[in-house]
Amino acid sequence: MKGRFKTLAVALAASCAAMGAPAVADNHAGPTMNDLLNDANSTGDVLTYGMGPWQQRYSKLNMVNTETVNRLVPVFSASLGGEKQRGQEAQPIVYDGTIYVTGSYSRMFAFDAKTGEKKWEYNARLPDGIMPCCDVVNRGAAIHGDKIIFATLDAHLVALNRETGKVIWNKEIGDYKAGYSATAAPIIAKDMVITGNSGGEFGIVGAVQARDVNTGELIWDRPTIEGHMGTLRGKDNGISGKTNATWEGDLWKTGGGATWLGGTYDPGTNLVYFGTGNPAPWNSHLRPGDNLYTSATVAIDVDTGKIKWYYQTTPHDGWDFDGVNEFIPFDATMNGKKMQLGAKADRNGYFYVLDRTNGKFIGAHKFVMQTTWADGIDQKTGRPNFTSDGRPGAPTGADKGEVVFASPSFLGGKNWMPMAYSQDTGLFYIPSNDWGMDIWNEPIAYKKGAAYLGAGFTIKPIADDHIGALRAMDPKTGKIVWEAKNPAPLWGGVLATGGNLVFTGTPEGYLKAFDAKTGQELWKFQTGSGVVGSPVTWEDGGEQYVAVMSGWGGAVPLWGGEVAKTFKDISQGGSLWVFKLYNQ
Ligand code: CA
Ligand code: CA
């Protein structure tokens, strides 16, 4: 029998060739590196986290626009099912008639893009004792060739066959028993899959790792804490920075700086940009110095795995102002000069513009109501002007130190949820939050696998009418052009389109569309649970589609303190929603 099938296959192939069948796109081989680099321009698919290596989250599609958006209706909703209904922070990937989404508890799903029918589901077998700090979320996958790749809560990276959901390779990023985990979407650069790590609240050591996308084998590893040795193809590759230059004693060995939100890739400069989280422990009095490279952006050469430049947004962080926020490349003319720039809306409440070729400071602008910890950013040095009473006090003996009110809260002026940049308006659309906290320091010692904070906190509202605010920021002037307030904290990503629209979700359950120029709310749809995922758009058969994940969760319900009353009635969920225009 076996032989007969083979003969038949050969005969069929031969007859096709004889008939001179026209070459059709071989989607079976899957997207190539060039396809990924071109993702921002290819409107028929969504191949990368952020909709392009720069992650601007912009599509030039304009069938859905300010005039037509009121006809946007659901095509289908697909449930992730099971009892694992927690925060759904994923961004869908769309390729060749399939939508891939990751779900809470390290799951991945493939759905038919037209019907919502499930093609396959993968459930990572997670060990007992995983230590995700902030819900069991996942933010998305990377696609390349026959593979779809995502990171799991036990700090593994798993490559699945995108047509079958079967495991091709599975590699450990870090030891989950020491507090390592992973939730970010991997990125692909030069056929390498590049990831960060999570666990800054457990005294892990932040790092960026590059692997061969075909085998998962480690190519380079670059620690983001000063003093640690990097590797390239199994050999030592130089220490990050200079040991003990910005850390005292052995503190750098458990220094935090987790790269937990992943990175962006700029093929032009050959750099990947990764944000780094808080230094560990939170209690800053225990670790004098700037504590490089925590609460910063680091630019790493894709070929050498070495840090080319860094920019620290919160030196000697004492408020858990993780600097992980995405660094988004964009080109603009500033003062008559064409510049290669990058922008970041930091957890500390300031929006930074840097020269992305060398990290040089261009400008920083407050994008939230209040920053108590600093009174602006020094426009010459780029360092914050710390306020004298903004830092929580040092503990005395076994007693906690002086409590201070600090704003933004540790959950940030902006947290993980990615902003968008519109090439039409030249504006960044920042999903931000206005909230503060009481924070204090406590004594703490490092213990493997235990929380390493040395601090306590209670989050508090600071405005009567809102916590969330979607804000349109002009990166050239630092002006906020418009804002749209929201009662509950915003926790979802943003999408900008050529239809002069900006989409984002709310914990109250809505996916909303705003006029990109004015901020006027034009459309909303209730998805049945909080929206904390990132919307995407693509076209197929002459129609424009919009998709988003619904499913309330993430860090806010775990750590929300006094702001919890704004979201106490929100139901949990776990579903993919897909929309298109209703045609009469
Ligand atoms: Ca595309
Ligand atoms: Ca943190």
Exposure b/e, 450-488, CB count within 10 A at least 16 = b: ebbbbbebbbebbeeebbbbbbbbebbeeebbbbbebbb
Of 415, 410, 413, 416, nearest to 456 by C-alpha is: 410
Question: If you count them, how many residues does the chain have?
Answer: 584
Domain positions in the chain: 27-581
Structure tokens at 293: 């490279």
CA of 515 to the centre of ligand 1 (A): 23
Q: Per residue of the chain (584 residues), what is the pLDDT tens digit?
A: 333 444 444 444 444 444 444 445 567 799 999 999 999 999 999 999 999 999 999 999 999 999 999 999 999 999 998 888 899 999 999 999 999 999 999 999 999 999 999 999 999 999 999 999 889 999 999 999 999 999 999 999 999 999 999 999 999 999 999 999 999 999 999 999 999 999 999 999 999 999 999 999 999 999 999 999 999 999 999 999 999 999 999 999 999 999 999 999 999 999 999 999 999 999 999 999 999 999 999 999 999 999 999 999 999 999 999 999 999 999 999 889 999 999 999 999 999 999 999 999 999 999 999 999 999 999 999 999 999 999 999 999 889 999 999 999 999 999 999 999 999 999 999 999 999 999 999 999 999 999 999 999 999 999 999 999 999 999 999 999 999 999 999 999 999 999 999 999 999 999 999 999 999 999 999 999 999 999 999 999 999 999 999 999 999 988 888 888 888 889 999 999 999 999 86
Sign of CA dihedral 287, 288, 290, 295: positive
Nearest bound ligand to the CA of residue 455: 2
Structure tokens at 172: 């450990």
The pTM for the full model equals 0.95
CA of 159 to the centre of ligand 2 (A): 27
CA of 453 to the centre of ligand 2 (A): 9
Give burial (CB, 10 Å; 0-12/13-18/19+) of 383.
middle
- Beta strands 156-161; 147-151: pairing state: antiparallel
CA of 207 to the centre of ligand 1 (A): 29
- Beta strands 263-266; 235-239: pairing state: unpaired
CA of 536 to the centre of ligand 1 (A): 10
In the CATH scheme, what architecture does the domain 27-581 have? 8 Propeller (2.140)
Please tell me the distance from the alpha carbon of residue 331 to that of residue 250, in angstroms, as a whole number: 41
- Looking at residue 559, its pLDDT comes to 86
- Looking at residue 31, its pLDDT comes to 98
CA of 299 to the centre of ligand 1 (A): 25
Please tell me the distance from the alpha carbon of residue 97 to that of residue 256, in angstroms, as a whole number: 41
Nearest bound ligand to the CA of residue 44: 1
- Looking at residue 25, its pLDDT comes to 56
Place of tokens 């509950």: 488
- Beta strands 543-550; 536-540: pairing state: antiparallel
Residues with a known catalytic role: 320
The protein residues having their C-beta less than 5 angstroms from ligand 2 (an ion) are 200, 277-278, 320, 322
Assign residue 233 a region (left: φ > 0; alpha: ψ between -120 and 50; beta: otherwise).
left
Nearest bound ligand to the CA of residue 51: 1
Please tell me the distance from the alpha carbon of residue 189 to that of residue 502, in angstroms, as a whole number: 28
CA of 508 to the centre of ligand 2 (A): 25
**Edge-to-edge strands, sheet with 296-301:** 263-266, 271-275, 296-301, 307-312
Residue 165 makes CB contacts below 8 A (sequence gap 6+) with 108, 110, 119, 120, 121, 122
**Edge-to-edge strands, sheet with 118-123:** 93-95, 98-103, 107-112, 118-123
Please tell me the distance from the alpha carbon of residue 260 to that of residue 449, in angstroms, as a whole number: 17
CA of 277 to the centre of ligand 2 (A): 6
Provide DSSP, 121-173: EEE--PPTT---SS-S---B-EEETTEEEEE-TTSEEEEEETTT--EEEEEES
CA angle 455, 456, 460 (to 5 degrees): 135
Nearest bound ligand to the CA of residue 277: 2
Please tell me the distance from the alpha carbon of residue 34 to that of residue 574, in angstroms, as a whole number: 33
CA of 404 to the centre of ligand 1 (A): 47
Nearest bound ligand to the CA of residue 555: 2
- Tell me the one-letter amino acid at 249: G
